[in-house]
């Protein structure tokens, strides 16, 4: 290409009406000329003065673009000689091995672990509305109080608050959470045992990374929350599903190597809703002690219990430092906050604090400071109290809607706590029904999808009532009832 041809080529790609700065347009046009082969490697470019005149732009614009392209490795400046197109050929950058066959580039391939994660993905595109399980009513969150705390902390944001978090998280939040957990959940802890995370997902991931090696065995409840099953599975651990009965986790028939850790939801089994009885809790602690296992107590939503007081934690019974207690603000405040905590046994506390800082490089100290004040000033306890009343009424409305549509023909389980209940569908295909109800605009999850052992799976639907306004419950359930009847309910 002559200089004239080059300037015509560039002028065709530059527009003064475009609104984009000229130097950016010229940069993009010249880069395209190099990448598309209009300017081959080794070709000398016109001087900046000449090109600027041809294009009718300032010389500095051309100099600027030449320099940027040289910094990107597209052009070379040879002293006293001029500016040349660099050799960008793949052969120069990475000579192919002589035996490499000429084949089409392989399709992008995930690892077996990646395939399993993506294949098992179950997150709904819309995490809200009837009857989305596991989601609190985020519209009731006291945003005015939060905004006040926001202003308080952002009006005087110390530089260290905008940097990475210290190991374990913000000390003030660790103090506030320790106090809250001692009184509300019967957890025996000091602030130094609290490790702030982005939620239970991360807490379990951290626990697994710090306490297991690939191939180690971990026990999970069957059924259990699929998100945690996928997290643990993706780390190359051997999962041993342990069935739950009316008293909670029942490992009596479980064989094989001792687990490195056992994950359980003793205060509110997820998703079935039973409470692990005291004898079973003591037996579980004894099992962990004799086999050298840890117990991970997932206490995701136990603040919401209707009729009786919340059940105190398993950690509170532990005298040997075997329980790793994990909790979350996802259900009590809002899931998008992405804050949770671990109460590590004293012997693990500093390793967990270092681990979280090392593996995830945590931050969010301003949010942590706001949350510390929110708890210390009593807003957290007040919000939980208020939501407990609200959810209790919504739960009642859902029970009444079920009775109005189906009388006593469909069993209801796990309805005395939490944010969802289970509508049993004995003999019916819950996966197909859940799919059809999503298509009818009602989000539910099939109970059988939470089981690891297909032979043990019960059929039912998880119906989350917490994020549905009371008056919307009966109409939404009427829509679901229509779907259920089509399937023979």
Ligand X SMILES: Cc1ncc(COP(=O)(O)O)c(C=O)c1O
Closest to ligand X by CB, 41 vs 210, is 210
* Minimum CB–partner distance for residue 271 and ligand X (Å): 7
Structure tokens of 249?
């986790």
**Mode of pairing for the β-strands spanning 261-264 and 294-298:** parallel
**220 binding ligand X? (CB under 6 A):** no
* Minimum CB–partner distance for residue 272 and ligand X (Å): 11
d(CA 312, CA 130): 30
Binding map of ligand X across residues 261-280, x = CB under 6 A, - = no contact: ----x----x----------
66: Cβ contacts below 8 Å, ≥ 6 apart: 45, 48, 75, 77, 83
Q: What is the largest CA-CA distance in the chain?
A: 93
Site for ligand X in 164-183 (CB under 6 A): none
* Minimum CB–partner distance for residue 228 and ligand X (Å): 6
Sign of the dihedral through C-alpha 224, 230, 231, 234: positive
Closest to ligand X by CB, 166 vs 227, is 227
**335 binding ligand X? (CB under 6 A):** yes
d(CA 370, CA 372): 5
**46 binding ligand X? (CB under 6 A):** no
**200 binding ligand X? (CB under 6 A):** yes
Give the distance, in angstroms, between the CA of residue 289 and the centroid of all CA atoms in the same chain: 32
Closest to ligand X by CB, 1 vs 121, is 121
Q: How many residues make contact with ligand X (CB under 6 A)?
A: 15
**201 binding ligand X? (CB under 6 A):** yes
d(CA 461, CA 412): 10
DSSP helix/strand/coil, 147: helix
* Minimum CB–partner distance for residue 334 and ligand X (Å): 10
250: Cβ contacts below 8 Å, ≥ 6 apart: 242, 243, 244, 280
d(CA 321, CA 324): 8
- Candidates 83, 267, 330, 437: give the one binding ligand X (CB under 6 A): 330
**134 binding ligand X? (CB under 6 A):** yes
**196 binding ligand X? (CB under 6 A):** no
- Candidates 259, 340, 355, 460: give the one binding ligand X (CB under 6 A): 340
Residues at the interface with ligand X (CB under 6 A): 134, 199-201, 225, 227-228, 265, 270, 298, 300, 328, 330, 335, 340
């Amino acid at each position: 290409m002559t200089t004239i041809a080059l300037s015509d080529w560039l002028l065709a790609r530059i527009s003064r009406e475009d609104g984009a700065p000229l130097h950016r347009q010229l940069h993009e046009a010249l880069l395209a000329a190099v990448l598309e082969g209009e300017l081959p490697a080794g070709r000398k470019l016109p001087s900046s003065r000449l090109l600027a005149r041809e294009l009718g732009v300032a010389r500095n614009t051309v100099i600027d673009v030449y320099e940027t392209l040289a910094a990107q490795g597209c052009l070379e400046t040879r002293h006293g000689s001029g500016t040349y197109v660099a050799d960008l050929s793949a052969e120069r950058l990475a000579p192919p091995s002589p035996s490499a066959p000429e084949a089409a580039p392989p399709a992008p391939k995930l690892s077996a672990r990646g395939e399993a994660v993506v294949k098992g993905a179950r997150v709904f595109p819309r995490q809200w509305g009837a009857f989305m399980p596991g989601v609190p009513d985020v519209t009731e969150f006291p945003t005015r109080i939060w905004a006040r705390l926001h202003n308080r902390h952002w009006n005087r944001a110390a530089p260290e608050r905008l940097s990475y978090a210290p190991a374990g998280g913000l000390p003030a939040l660790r103090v506030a959470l320790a106090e809250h957990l001692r009184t509300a959940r019967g957890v025996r802890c000091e602030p130094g045992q609290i490790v702030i995370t982005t939620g239970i997902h991360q807490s379990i991931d951290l626990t697994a990374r710090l306490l297991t090696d690939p191939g180690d065995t971990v026990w999970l409840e069957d059924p259990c929350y699929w998100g945690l099953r996928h997290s643990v599975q993706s780390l190359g651990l051997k999962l041993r599903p342990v069935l739950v009965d009316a008293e909670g986790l029942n490992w009596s028939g479980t064989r094989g190597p001792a687990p490195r850790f056992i994950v359980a939801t003793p205060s509110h089994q997820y998703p079935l809703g039973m409470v692990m009885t005291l004898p079973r809790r003591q037996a579980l602690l004894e099992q962990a002690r004799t086999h050298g296992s840890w117990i991970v107590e997932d206490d995701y939503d136990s603040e919401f219990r209707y009729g009786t007081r919340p059940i105190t934690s398993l950690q509170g019974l532990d005298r040997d430092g075997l329980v790793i207690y994990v909790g979350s603000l996802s259900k009590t405040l809002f899931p998008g906050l992405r804050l949770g905590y671990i109460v590590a046994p004293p012997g693990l506390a500093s390793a967990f604090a270092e681990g979280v800082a090392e593996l995830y490089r945590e931050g969010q100290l301003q949010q942590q400071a706001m949350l510390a004040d929110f708890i210390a000033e009593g807003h957290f306890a007040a919000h939980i109290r208020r939501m407990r009343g609200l959810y209790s009424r919504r739960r009642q409305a859902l029970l009444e809607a079920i009775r109005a549509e189906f009388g006593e023909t469909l069993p209801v389980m796990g309805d005395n706590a939490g944010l969802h209940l289970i509508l049993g569908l004995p003999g019916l295909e819950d996966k197909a029904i859940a799919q059809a109800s999503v298509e009818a605009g009602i989000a539910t999850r099939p109970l059988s999808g939470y089981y690891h052992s297909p032979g043990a799976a019960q059929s039912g639907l998880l119906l989350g009532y917490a994020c549905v306004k009371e008056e919307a419950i009966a109409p939404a359930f009427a829509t679901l009832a229509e779907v259920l009847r089509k399937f023979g309910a």
